[in-house]
Structure 1
Amino acid sequence: MIAETVCSAVAAAGLGIAAVTAYRKRFLAAARLAAYSLVPLGLVMTGAVEWAADTAFSPVAWAGFGVLGASWLLFTTTRAVERRGGGTRKERRAARAAKRDAMAPSASAPSLGPSTSPATRPESKSKAKPRGAESGDDFSDIEAILKKHGI
């Protein structure tokens, strides 16, 4: 009852201020003030204010918010533990084994340097001449890739 009265008074005061603003020939600002002033009145007429007031003073509603907060806390905590790699030892051991089995034992990483076996070395028709020890080493891999693709 009190909340509805306060909202109605706020709406009436806002409409009064909008009327004064319109009297001063600021019609756009007056229309905006009238729109803002009608929001609390519309909330009172739809019953939203009564529902909000009943919810705010209801111990059952606050207990429900507490239960929702606890469930959210449990959810985020379990997600954080899961992302850190938590879980059972069995799951971690299975993940490690799958990671080891996923890679071939004789695989080499191309970014670690040139291959030592001549079979995997790319064949080029003309050898690039290094201009210096440092600049030749830097660009020889790039030149080999470009030649391989015919560029």
Structure 2
Amino acid sequence: MLAETICSAVSAAGLGIAALTAYRKRFLAATRIAAYSLVPVALVMTGVVQWVSGIVFKPTVWIGFGLLGVAWLLFLTTRAVERRGLGKKAGRTPEAVAPAASAPSLGAGTGSRPQDAGSRKPAAAADAGEDFSDIEAILKKHGI
């Protein structure tokens, strides 16, 4: 009852201000003020004010909002733990993409002397063949 009275008083004051604004020949602003001042009365007539005041003054509603907040926080916490990887089992290791493929060869690593550069060219061709065999093994595994 108190909320309805306050809304009616706010609307009456707004309509008074709209009338004064229209008297000063500012009709567009007066129309806008009148529209805003009719909103509280409309909310009272539709029952929204009574519904909102019923929500605000009931403790069970506030407990329900609190439980929703706790559930939301628990959900976010589990998502954060899952993303950081803390929820995985301790003995579990990630599986390899191609367990049958050999490791790529990186060459002999003897150094970068100019004499070795000429002798390494045939070895580079052999390494390229091995790299393609690894790629072929991966593609065959995936059926490509």
TM value normalised by structure 2: 0.67
Which residue pairs with 1:97 in the alignment? Answer: 94
Structure 1 vs Structure 2 CA RMSD: 2.4
2:3 corresponding residue in structure 1: 3
Structure 1: 5+ residue stretches without partners: 109-115, 122-151
Q: Runs in 1 of length 4+ with deviation above 4 angstroms?
A: none
Higher relative CO (Cα under 8 Å, sequence separation at least 6) belongs to: 2
Paired with 2:40 and 2:55, the residues of 1 have a C-alpha distance of: 18
What are the ranges of 5 or more consecutive residues in structure 2 without an aligned counterpart? 106-122, 130-144
Give the Cα–Cα distance (whole angstroms) in 2 for the partners of residues 59 and 48 of structure 1: 19
> What is aligned with 1:41?
41
Which position in structure 1 is the counterpart of 2:80?
Answer: 80
Q: Residues 59-74 of structure 1 correspond to what in structure 2 (within 5 A)?
A: 59-74=59-74
1:101-140 aligned at under 5 Å gives the runs 101-102=96-97, 104-107=101-104, 117-118=124-125, 120=128
Aligned-pair CA distance for 1:50: 0.5
Cα deviation, residue 106, structure 1: 3.2
SS in 1 for 2:85: coil
**1:77-128 Cα distance to aligned partner (Å, 9 max, x none):** 11111111121316x82xx422xx11554358xxxxxxx722649xxxxxxx
User: Normalized against structure 1, the TM-score is what?
Assistant: 0.64
